[in-house]
Each structure stands twice: as C-alpha cells, then as structure tokens.
Amino acid sequence: MADVGKTPVARNEKTSSEFGYVGIDAILEQMRRKAMKQGFELNIMVVGQSGLGKSTLMNTLFKSKVSRRSVMTTEEERIPKTIEIKSISHDIEEKGVRMKLTVIDTPGFGDQINNENCWQPIMKFINTQYEQYLQEEINIDRKKRIPDSRVHCCIYFIPPTGHCLRPIDIEFMRHLSKVVNIVPVIAKADTLTLEERDFFKQKIREDLRANEIDIYPQKEFDEDAEDRMINEKIREMIPFAVVGSDQEYQVNGKRLLGRKTRWGTVEVENTTHCEFAYLRDLLIRTHMQNIKDITSSIHYEMYRVRRLNENNTKPNGQPAIHTNGVPEHEVLSHEM
C-alpha cells in the first residue's frame, strides 16, 4: 500500500515525475507562438541630405531592396523643392518571424537654399501617425489590433565633415528628439581616418550634450542597472560611424558585403572597419522591442496627454467636467 511521502519536494524544481512543476514559464512559449502567428511592425524614418547613402544603408540593414534611391538626378528627376514624405512597406520573414517593415524617406531635407523650419513637415508627419493611432484607440468599436504606423525610430544621417554638428543638424535633433527616437549616424564614414572618426564622434557627443539633445537610448528610460550598463556602452559609441553597401566581394575566400577601392575593400560588417554591425545589433537584434516600447509608452503617451489636455479644456481655461472622458459610474451586475 502507498505510504505518505516524508520528504517534501522543492516546489520549483522540475523532477522526472514533474512533481512541483506548475508550468507558468510556458507562457513564454505561448507568447512566442502568438508573436510568430501575428507578425509585427517596425517603422523606420531616414533623414539626411541627399547623397549620404540613406537608401543604401537601409538596404544593407535589411539585406534587401527595402528603400528606393530617392534621388537619381537625371534630367527628369531633380531634388524636390519641398520635403516629401515617402513610405515603402515590405513584409520580411526570417526563421518563421514575419515583420512588416516600413521605411519612411524624406527626400528634399536640407537640400534647399533656405532650410528654415525644414523639420516641420517631418514633425507633422510623425504627429499625424500619433493622431491616427489616438483616433483608433478612442473609437468605441475599435480594432483588435490597431494598425501601428507610428515612427518607431528616426535614423539621422550626419555628413562626415570631421568638424562638428551643423546648425541644421542641431535644430533638427533638438526639435525631434522630443517626439521620436533619434539614432544619429555618421554617414559614409569610410572617408574618415580612425583618428578623425574618434575626434568627430567625441565632438558630436559634446554638441548633443551642450544642446541638451537626448537621443536614443535615453538615460531617463533605463529600467534597471542591467539596462543602464548596456545602454551606457551604446551611448559612449553614438553616433555610429557607418558604411553601407549591397555589393558582395570575395575576401580571403569569404563572401562579404563591402566597398572595393584600389587600396582595399571596406568590409561593412567588420567592426574594425566601421560600426555598421553595432548599429544593426542595436536597431534589430537587441533594442528593436525597446524602441517600439519607448515609442508607445513615452512619445505616443506624451502626444496623447497633450491632445487630451487641449481637448478637455474649456475656452475659459477651466477643465472639462470629466477629465478622463468617462463619468463616474455605478457598475451594475446586469450590465452585460
């Protein structure tokens, strides 16, 4: 006959008979399956003067033609007179994970004689996406999954002058760092020597600090010590000095993405040559979810607060009666 067991079994140890194992960690697998079924979205905006390799870099990041070269200056195609906003969407699948990638290009930025307020159309576009999301969110009968066209990340291309940030760079980032995650990159960094690159990066970091421009990952949003440590390393490296290429070359018997010159091949994914791999890891392999979270819980929430405050204030400046939009309500059992 069976006897009462004398020794207790540790509750969270998974033994052969699985005694003590509940299975709450299985939620991770459940979430993985859901995510793989649904897929997800990533919306990236690229901003910078023409000819800095924006399209090439995006194509290099996502290993496919996800961005069209916006300026092929033939007789017909000229630099646009005003800033246009162009979105191209692609579905990319990798290891069963589907991502709808939208690349938002801004041809015409910084290319005019007078570039005053040239960030405004971009700001307007970003806020329009927040507005669309907000309108969907406050719908009574809302979608199970609200289409997310919010800009998760803005890659800002700094020309490789080797000196310091230009006023247009400072103004753009100062205005937009409050509404979107900005990741600054030094474009076409193969024009700089290692010494020039280090000096330029340091100078840019000083300029950003002096102008109180908080770029991604923002210090104030580090969640814990582990986060802080990882993000500090990234902040010390920003802006990433990058080179893009969609050409493959054979180097020492290996196929590599690179740019071939008379004096050698710049290997795009070689971290001793440029920092493309660090940028890719940040944007895709380590911080992509965080970039989306910050967009949703910080930038969008700030927009929402401002809009609802505007909407909830009477002309005389008095707040409307129900600041949260729903009056007090006694819940009844028969309500459903």
Partner 1 sequence: MSEIVPPEVRPKPAVPAKPSHVAPPSSAPFVPSPQGTGGEGQGSGRGSALLGYIGIDTIIEQMRKKTMKAGFDFNIMVVGQSGLGKSTLVNTLFKSQVSRRSTSWSRDEKIPKTVEIKSVSHVIEEGGVKMKLTVVDTPGFGDQINNDNCWEPISKHINEQYEKFLKEEVNIARKKRIPDTRVHCCLYFISPTGHSLRQLDIEFMKHLSRVVNIIPVIAKSDTLTPEEKTEFKQRVRKELEVCGIECYPQKEFDEDMEDKSDNDKIRETMPFAVVGSDKEYQVNGKRVLGRKTAWGVVEVENPNHCEFSLLRDFMIRSHLQDLKEVTHNIHYETYRAKRLNDNGGLHPISSSGHDTQESNL
Site for partner 1 in 243-262 (CB under 8 A): 246-251, 255, 257-258, 260
Q: How far is the CB of 87 from partner 1 (least distance, A)?
A: 5
Q: Which of residues 83-142 bind partner 1 (CB under 8 A)?
A: 84-100, 102, 104, 120, 123-125, 127-132, 134-135, 138, 140-142
Q: How far is the CB of 52 from partner 1 (least distance, A)?
A: 19
E strand residue ranges, 37-105: 40-47, 86-94, 97-105
Q: What angle do helix axes 120-137 and 301-311 make, rounded to 10 degrees?
A: 80
Letters for 142-161 (x = contact with partner 1 by CB under 8 A, - = none) are x-xxxxxx------------
Q: Which of residues 22-51 bind partner 1 (CB under 8 A)?
A: 22-28, 30-32, 34-41, 43
Q: Which of residues 271-300 bind partner 1 (CB under 8 A)?
A: 280-281, 284-290, 293, 297, 299
State the sign of the Cα–Cα–Cα–Cα dihedral 211, 288, 98, 244. Answer: positive
Letters for 66-85 (x = contact with partner 1 by CB under 8 A, - = none) are x-x---------------xx
Q: How far is the CB of 241 from partner 1 (least distance, A)?
A: 20
Task: Give the integer Cα–Cα distance in Å for 318 and 296.
Answer: 29
Stretch that binds partner 1, among 46-54, 187-195, 235-243, 302-310 (CB under 8 A): 302-310
Binding of partner 1 at residue 303 (CB under 8 A)?
yes
Say if CB 145 and CB 137 are below 8 A apart: no
Residue 25 or 198 with smaller CB distance to partner 1: 25
Q: How far is the CB of 11 from partner 1 (least distance, A)?
A: 6
Say if CB 257 and CB 246 are below 8 A apart: yes
Q: How far is the CB of 95 from partner 1 (least distance, A)?
A: 4
Cα–Cα distances (Å) from 142 to 35, 129, 134, 137, 146, in that order, read: 21, 17, 11, 7, 8
Write out the two tokens for 29.
Answer: 């697998």
Task: Give the integer Cα–Cα distance in Å for 169 and 208.
Answer: 10
The backbone torsions φ and ψ at residue 251, rounded to the nearest 5 degrees and listed phi first, read: -130, 120
Q: Which of residues 161-200 bind partner 1 (CB under 8 A)?
A: 175, 178-179
Task: Give the integer Cα–Cα distance in Å for 35 and 248.
Answer: 33
Q: How many CB atoms lie within 10 A of CB 16?
A: 5
Q: How far is the CB of 221 from partner 1 (least distance, A)?
A: 10
Binding of partner 1 at residue 21 (CB under 8 A)?
yes
The backbone torsions φ and ψ at residue 173, rounded to the nearest 5 degrees and listed phi first, read: -70, -30
Among 2, 72, 225, 321, binds partner 1 (CB under 8 A): 2
Residue 164 or 308 with smaller CB distance to partner 1: 308
Binding of partner 1 at residue 223 (CB under 8 A)?
yes
Find residue 157's DSSP bridge partners. Answer: 185
